[in-house]
Structure 1
């Protein structure tokens, strides 16, 4: 991959001793940041008896995710171990021929042309959220913003993509997602320092998983009762209609749960971080309000307004840079490879952190600052900015996520101000997704 090659048997730089798993698990963001700052753009460390390789430069990342992607698999990775127990063999966890088939089945629902037709559902559900906020707007009660946004994005996803209205189930779904996110940690120290606490978390996880699976089955049953699975001329088309009849019940449940989890959780967290950052940067918030007033006036936005909502979109893109919904990608090498001059053996675990890439000082000016205008004329190196992953497995819902987040932001910023509750602690926590550790309590104020 490069003109130089390290001597045979040489491994990328890293700690001389095995990594303390408890410390890594306690603050994985500090760990990946420290590895890059201390050892450079390609590093390695020993974890639970195996050597792990980490890539912190876009050309190295591109090699794994795109140029030599056939040599790398999700099977047997920490990502796979965490997600498969919840999602089964859906689009996010499947590999090889299974993944290719599932991707082909789902792709039509997420094309740009299809996504723009969801604009009415997006704005209708957002206006309904504002209506539910009326009591809090009147009495100044702080809201758990992340749960409200999770309910919103769940409602949008299920209506737009699956053709089912989930109604009031959103709040319970959000709490269940919180529980499984807390439970599906990537690094488990051995021996377990808190076996009793682990047993309690496991029970909570099992209960939350059963609830999420129940929701998936309810969504499927609801669509079937409405005529889903019939030929297009006999029933309103949705992705779920296309899958019913092609998949058995277990496959259908796995796919629906995957689409619902991946399709609403990441967008909800993106909006949560965006609204937090805009509250912390009032000048940027005012630019968005001025743009919304100029483009929309008093009317509701549509997909046709997206080209004019440039500050809204940049605000979202910059939030995803600083707080990428997925903060780590892992792959297994099927066969030997050479990356950055180092030999990578077959079976090796190779990891990529969007958290590190998105704050790499060699590629970003003021990497820790919130500067939405950096996306005005961004000409970024391939595989530097990866909020949706990269290569052939790039997130199938990326177009929907950007359209949805931009329109939701425009509707909210036109109507209200969201202010962080005074003294409320905000700290990113790297679980399955990058979430605010303590939630995000914000007060709704009149515009």
Structure 2
């Protein structure tokens, strides 16, 4: 007779996936509130644990991370059809090899060398806004920032320029999110809508694939003589990649390297508009530190309010709101048995708003990041453990320099009455976009 497992508390019945997908943030919040640090529910044939305490999260992502795989997780199922077997989706030795190949381009010294690329792109964006500034015309800030971060990552990391197709790229990313983040029940109530989403996804994937192969081809023609980019390293490294491997890696870097930073900046600008005293601190800082000149990497240690404004925005609206792993072998977490194959989840949304660790957890208080060191694996905007985002330093430098550059010249105000609601798809996005008016300072 099989040994009885000790399972965490949770809902007794199978969870309705449609209800969960309609309000995922409320779902994980209620699970943690009602059942505690480790919860268990069953959905779509899976046994699912949700971990809501930092030391337990560290156990799965770091201390016993080798026992927890990304294979066959919802993350894997959503991302692999688009990204193939790149750094975000690969596992084991393959992932370790890819990480080793990519790491040099993301070292702090290499990242700081890209400060001019970042600020030039941000200044160009403001110049493009000038007619709207003069006329008070609302801007789709979320789309503009996606185009901006796409420009930055392709120039800095891949040595390419996608000026002119940023808007189309943003639309393709939106189409991908609408499809891969949309649950379709077995008895699909709207097959026509599902078919439309799948067609949009197919077109978007083809477009993104074309962009990627064009980047690779252009760099090959250029020869990458200076060997200055990550793409050069991938093309000329000691372990040559196949065409498919190159495509997967480059597309992964483009997608991961621009989407999350764009969302972090979008939420930062929204929160600063809603908290004018915090915006005043940012504006005073850039005026005092920079004196009207363009920021550089050397200014980063003194742009403390800019950095904290971004960090706090990523706490309240973490770009990646859920991390999933699949248990390879049996384990025990906080006294509860974990059977092989169990899906183990961590929600940054829940951890970042836990009142045990954050005073006034729903409030925007950037100054909290001047406080004492937080418990390991409590604040996870870039994930945790060995698989922590390889580009985290680049992303934070980029966000701070972009914010400082924008704050020198404009103040952004949400269009009166515009609805702002987080939508938890692959990333945490403003469901209706973010329409704002740029005012000259």
**TM class, shorter-length:** over 0.9
2:262 is the alignment partner of 1:268: yes
Distance in 2 between residues matched to 1:10 and 1:244, nearest whole Å: 50
Displacement of 1:194: 1.5
Q: Which residue of 1 aligns with 2:220?
A: 224
Distance in 2 between residues matched to 1:406 and 1:109, nearest whole Å: 19
Distance in 2 between residues matched to 1:338 and 1:176, nearest whole Å: 42
Displacement of 1:298: 1.0
Q: Which residue of 2 aligns with 1:145?
A: 141
Displacement of 1:236: 4.5
Q: Which residue of 2 aligns with 1:379?
A: 373
Q: Which residue of 2 aligns with 1:343?
A: 337
2:292 is the alignment partner of 1:301: no
Give the counterpart of 2:124 among 128, 134, 151.
Answer: 128
Q: Using structure 1 for the length normalisation, give the TM-score.
A: 0.96
Q: Which residue of 1 aligns with 2:66?
A: 70
Distance in 2 between residues matched to 1:273 and 1:354, nearest whole Å: 16
Q: Counterpart of 1:167 in 2: which secondary structure?
A: coil
**Alignment gaps of 5+ in structure 1:** 1-6, 229-233
Q: Counterpart of 2:377 in 1: which secondary structure?
A: coil
Distance in 2 between residues matched to 1:381 and 1:188, nearest whole Å: 38
Q: Which residue of 2 aligns with 1:286?
A: 280
Distance in 1 between residues matched to 2:92 and 2:360, nearest whole Å: 40
Displacement of 1:219: 1.1
Distance in 1 between residues matched to 2:259 and 2:135, nearest whole Å: 29
CA, structure 1 residues 187+361, in 2 after alignment: closer, same or farther (shift >3 Å)? farther
Displacement of 1:8: 4.4
Displacement of 1:191: 2.0
Distance in 1 between residues matched to 2:181 and 2:297, nearest whole Å: 38
2:381 is the alignment partner of 1:390: no
Q: Which residue of 2 aligns with 1:239?
A: 230
2:50 is the alignment partner of 1:50: no
Displacement of 1:181: 0.7
Q: Counterpart of 1:237 in 2: which secondary structure?
A: coil
Distance in 2 between residues matched to 1:121 and 1:352, nearest whole Å: 35
Displacement of 1:302: 0.3
Displacement of 1:190: 2.6
Contact 1:25 1:188 in 2 (8 A): no
Contact 1:421 1:441 in 2 (8 A): yes
Distance in 2 between residues matched to 1:109 and 1:49, nearest whole Å: 41
Distance in 2 between residues matched to 1:215 and 1:50, nearest whole Å: 37
Distance in 2 between residues matched to 1:100 and 1:224, nearest whole Å: 25
Displacement of 1:160: 0.5
Q: Which residue of 2 aligns with 1:433?
A: 427
Displacement of 1:378: 3.5
Distance in 1 between residues matched to 2:278 and 2:58, nearest whole Å: 33
The count of residues paired between Structure 1 and Structure 2 equals: 436
Contact 2:184 2:194 in 1 (8 A): no
Distance in 2 between residues matched to 1:378 and 1:114, nearest whole Å: 29
Q: Using structure 2 for the length normalisation, give the TM-score.
A: 0.97
CA deviation vs aligned residue, 1:355-407 (integer Å, no higher than 9, x gap): 00000111110000000000013310000000000000000000000100000
Displacement of 1:9: 2.2
> In angstroms, what is the RMSD of aligned CA positions?
1.0
Contact 2:14 2:41 in 1 (8 A): yes
Contact 1:24 1:187 in 2 (8 A): no
**Alignment gaps of 5+ in structure 2:** none
Larger mean CA deviation between 335-344 and 180-189 belongs to 180-189
CA deviation vs aligned residue, 1:242-261 (integer Å, no higher than 9, x gap): 11142111111100000000
Distance in 1 between residues matched to 2:380 and 2:123, nearest whole Å: 30
Q: Counterpart of 2:354 in 1: which secondary structure?
A: coil
Larger mean CA deviation between 103-112 and 191-200 belongs to 191-200
Distance in 2 between residues matched to 1:306 and 1:122, nearest whole Å: 13
Displacement of 1:90: 0.3
Q: Counterpart of 1:182 in 2: which secondary structure?
A: helix
Contact 2:227 2:233 in 1 (8 A): no
